[in-house]
Chains A and B, each alone.
Chain A
Amino acid sequence: MSMAAVADGHSVRVIGLEDAGHEGPASKRIITGFGFWIFLLSDIVMFSCFFAAYAVQSGQTAGGPSGAELFNLRNVAIETAFLLLSSFACGMASIAAEVRSHLWFQIGMAVTCLLGIGFLIIEFREFADLIARGAGPSGSAFLSAFFALVGCHGLHVSAGTLWLLTMMAQVFAKGFRADILRRFLCFALFWHALDIIWVAIFSVVYLLGSAA
């Protein structure tokens, strides 16, 4: 941001002011959003470690079942649809918050919540089914890595669902105050980021695992 003042004969021009953006510190919304974006990126870096562990160990089945024998792609497709639609519903709630519509905000968030819970139920049943068939996390290195990666994403969705319910209650009780809207901005970013992680999971873990 160069603020060099140049005296060219009669007038003093300030170079760089017109493209220097706003003056003074950034608004609190931008600082909060950017800080949360940094957190999300570090969360994605953490997930990349789980992905690396899974990629290295995906073939180490210790004589046990491989992914192709265990995965049910129909369930995965339903989970994917639930999470994608809930991300969309979260976007609708963002627009409702922008135009300060309480009714549409609560509807959008309720749909987001129900789809998220539906996702969690399917995932929980999948895990319970795998463990009942003797393919629990202690079965092989492949299964350990699988449960760690997919379970970590499931934990994130569970935490996100709790956060979602908190946001519904806070908007209901306190209205669209600036601080509540900042929290909701962070929540929306978090929820969309979880969907991005899920894209990587269903592609790398389930589709590649079934194709191989």
Chain B
Amino acid sequence: MSDIHGLPHQADLAPGDEEVVSVKVRLLGYLVGLGLAVLLTATSFFVAGTDLVWQPSIPVAIVVLAIAQMGVHLVFFLHITTGPDNTNNVMALAFGLLIVFLVIAGSLWIMANLNHNMMPMEQIMQMQR
């Protein structure tokens, strides 16, 4: 992307826009992204149904594979990268991820805590008699 002064890499990038303009390079980027996504998805589905691995590790593996695939989508499809022209987009993404983490981890933590401290259901029933 070059601006009116003809200097490359001077302007910021809109999310979704790429720095390179050659069609071949862009096509290759999408193909690499598709290949990696297919690979990660297939691994995820395989791990979910297999008994070849230690069973308690399966949920962790699925979550890690999912996060990796989201990263692949962000970089190769949405073109949110660590390039210097992409700083604002990455900062917004980081803030969004912070909120997502707080909402999900906070909900799980608080609800598990409440559940743990709640009186067993039979005792509540007895108190209501």
Would you call B65 and A203 a contact (CB within 8 A)?
yes
Q: Give the B interface residue count (CB, 8 A).
A: 50
- Chain B's interface: helix, strand, loop or mixed, by majority? helix
Nearest chain A CB to B35's CB is how many angstroms away?
Answer: 10
Which of chain A's residues have a CB closer than 8 A to the CB of B16? 33, 37, 94, 185, 188-189, 192
Residues of chain A with a CB closer than 8 A to B26's CB: 95, 98
The stretch among A84-92, A153-161, A166-174 that forms the contact with chain B is A84-92
A29 on interface, CB distance cutoff 8 Å = yes
A2-10, A40-48, A124-132 - interface stretch:
A40-48
| Of listed B14, B33, B63, B89, residue having the most chain A CB within 10 A | B14
Summarize A's interface: helix, strand, loop or mixed: helix
Interface flags for A66-88 (1: CB within 8 Å of B; 0: not) read 00000001000100100011011
Interface residues of B, Cβ cutoff 8 Å to A: 3, 5, 10-17, 21, 23, 26-27, 30, 33-34, 37-38, 41, 44-45, 48-49, 58-59, 62-63, 65-66, 69-70, 73-74, 77-78, 88-89, 92-93, 95-96, 99-100, 103-104, 106-108, 111
A positions within 8 Å CB-CB of B = 21-22, 26-27, 29-30, 32-34, 36-38, 41-42, 44-45, 48-49, 51-53, 55-56, 73, 77, 80, 84-85, 87-88, 91-92, 94-95, 98-99, 185, 188-189, 192-193, 195-196, 199-200, 202-204, 207-208, 210-212
